[in-house]
Amino acid sequence: MSPRRLYEEELKQLQESVEEMGMGVRATYARLFSALQQQKESVIEEIIASDQSTHTLQRRIEGSCLNLITKQQPIARDLRQVSASLKVVTDISRIGDQCSDIAELVKRMHFKDLQEFSAHIPQMIEETGKQLTEAINAFVDRNAESAQHVVTGDDTVDDLFNQVKNDVIAHLRSEAKDPDDCIDVMMFAKYLEKIGDHAVNIANWAIFQETGEVDHIRLL
C-alpha cells in the first residue's frame, strides 16, 4: 500500500472510530431512559458498568490522532478533521460519564417517579436527546448547517433546566418532598444540562471541521 493510500485509510478509520464512539454513547442515552421508563434495573447496571469501554475507545482515537499529526503532518481539511476528532472524543466521553452518573442516581432513587418533582423532566430528557443525536450526526456527516442548529437551540435545554430547578426549590420550601430526593433530582437535571452543553461543543467542532472557525474566529 502506498504512503498516500495508507494515510487515506488511517483518516477513514479515524472517522469510523469517532462515529462508533458517538453512536455508542447516543445508544447508551436512549437505553438509559428506556430503562428508567420500564424500570429495568439490569440495564441500569449494564450502563454503569459499560463506562470503561467508552474511555478505552477514547484513548485509542486520541492515539490515532496524535499518530497522524506527528507522522503524517496533515494540512488544511485533513488537519481540521484530526484536530476536531481529538477534541470531540473528550465531549463524547464526558456524555458517557454523565449517563453513568444518571444511572447511579436512578438506582439510588429506586426508580422514583421524577415527574412528581417536575413535570418538565420528560421534555428535558427528550430535548437533550434530540440535541445529542443532531450534534453527533452533524459531526459524522460533516454538516455545518445542522451543527449550527444545535448551537442556536442550546437555550431550550437551559430553559428547561431552570424550570426544573424552580419546581424542585418550590418542593423544598413547602417541605412537600424529601430534601435528599430533591437534591438527587436537581443533580439528575444538572447532568442532562451538561450533556446538552457537550452536545453544543460537538456541534461547534463539527462547524470547525468544515469551516476552520470556532465562535466565528478562524483557527485553521
Query: Is the Cβ–Cβ distance between 121 and 115 less than 8 Å?
Result: yes
User: Rounded to an integer, what distance in angstroms lies between the CA atom of residue 204 and that of residue 220?
Assistant: 14
Axis-axis angle for helices 144-152, 154-174 (nearest 10)? 30
Residue range 169-190: average pLDDT?
Answer: 92
pTM of the model: 0.94
Query: Is the Cβ–Cβ distance between 18 and 61 less than 8 Å?
Result: yes
For residue 50, the model assigns a pLDDT of 84
DSSP 8-state class, residue 177: S
Residue range 198-211: average pLDDT?
Answer: 96
| 74 confidence band (pLDDT: 50, 70, 90) | confident
Residue with cell 417517579: 113
Structure confidence by residue, pLDDT tens digits, 23-72: 999 999 999 999 999 999 999 999 998 888 889 999 999 999 999 999 88
Query: Is the Cβ–Cβ distance between 58 and 129 less than 8 Å?
Result: no
* Ordered structural domains, the chain, with CATH: 3-218 (1.20.58.220)
Evaluate if residue 126 carries a pLDDT over 70. yes
